[in-house]
Amino acid sequence: MNKTHNQKAWFFVIPVFVLVAFNAVVPLMTVVNYSFQETFGSNVFAWEGTRWFKEILHSERFHASLGRQFIFTFIILLIQLPLGIAIALTMPKKGWGVPVCLILMSMPLLIPWNVVGAMWNIFALPEIGFLGNTLNSLGFDYNFTQQSGDAWFTTILMDVWHWTSLVVLLSYAGLNSIQPAYYQAAEIDGASRWDIFRYIELPKMKKVLTLAILLRFMDSFMIYTEPFVLTGGGPGNATNFLSLDLVKMALGQFDLGPAAAMSLIYFLIVLLICWVFYSLMMKDEGRK
């Protein structure tokens, strides 16, 4: 679709601009404010300069939780994207199967995040949960509250359960927008199934997949509620992801300065990765 240049469009954007400016800039500046100061409660502050940033960047605890976070997000993207695309490709294209699939598949997306955590906690309990009981009766020694490998397995399975449907729905919408003429041309040229996927479907899905990767990256990198309810970061620190660690530091120990510095570094990491990815994917769009 061709967009026309019109600077008056800014008038439409002003409400959201003002609202978000208030909602985003005020908390951001508050965090910046705290990150350079020491607080002694009851509104007493002392200037600390860049001390918290240096401490965080050299702290092993931060390195450990950042490492866990990257591994988790990497595994999540590696599973959910191919799986989501595969399901979207094999889903029915017409008939009664379409609404059935769409409704059933979007159900996990409608469940509140803390409910997802709570229901997976009970679902995976080794004695009385379906998943835990089944795995144990199959001969696996499964207990996600005791063994860190099992905790990781459960957390990843829960996230796959919760969010793969988002990738499916986006890919499915992308696939449906491809005109039949492309497939007819491919058939005339004798393209194989793989060629159709590689040269027609994948390029046509590029925009929705960019969005899917961005959303999945951001949400899995900042995952908090579900592992908080499911494992609480345990056993030990095994699933103590970055946001869990951050909240422990801020509320558990009331280290507001270091926690503010940490959340700024956290924010900058997410921002940087998203910006690089977004610019790379949108580079070709401008030329066309």
Residue 57 and residue 261: Cα distance in Å, rounded? 10
User: Please, what is the minimum distance in Å from the beta carbon of residue 141 to other proteins?
Assistant: 17
Residues 269-288 that bind other proteins (CB under 8 A): 270-271, 274-275, 278, 282
Identified binder of other proteins from the candidate list 213, 246, 248, 258, rule CB under 8 A? 246
Q: Which residues contact 77 (CB under 8 A, 6 or more apart)?
A: 213, 216, 217, 220
Identified binder of other proteins from the candidate list 55, 247, 277, 281, rule CB under 8 A? 247
Asked whether position 24 contacts other proteins by CB under 8 A, the answer is yes
Site string for other proteins, 45-84 (x = CB under 8 A): ----------------------------------------
Q: Which residues contact 132 (CB under 8 A, 6 or more apart)?
A: 123, 124, 125, 126, 142, 143, 144
Identified binder of other proteins from the candidate list 27, 67, 82, 203, rule CB under 8 A? 27
Q: Which stretch binds other proteins (CB under 8 A): 14-22, 50-58, 67-75, 177-185?
A: 14-22
Buried b (16+ CB within 10 A) or exposed e, 163-194: bbbbbbbbbbebbeeeeeeeeeebeeeebeee
Q: How many CB atoms lie within 10 A of CB 212?
A: 24
Q: In this structure, what DSSP letter does residue 197 have?
A: I
Report yes or no: 233 and 248 within 8 Å, Cβ to Cβ: yes
Identified binder of other proteins from the candidate list 67, 82, 92, 203, rule CB under 8 A? 92
Asked whether position 120 contacts other proteins by CB under 8 A, the answer is yes
Residues 226-245 that bind other proteins (CB under 8 A): 242-243
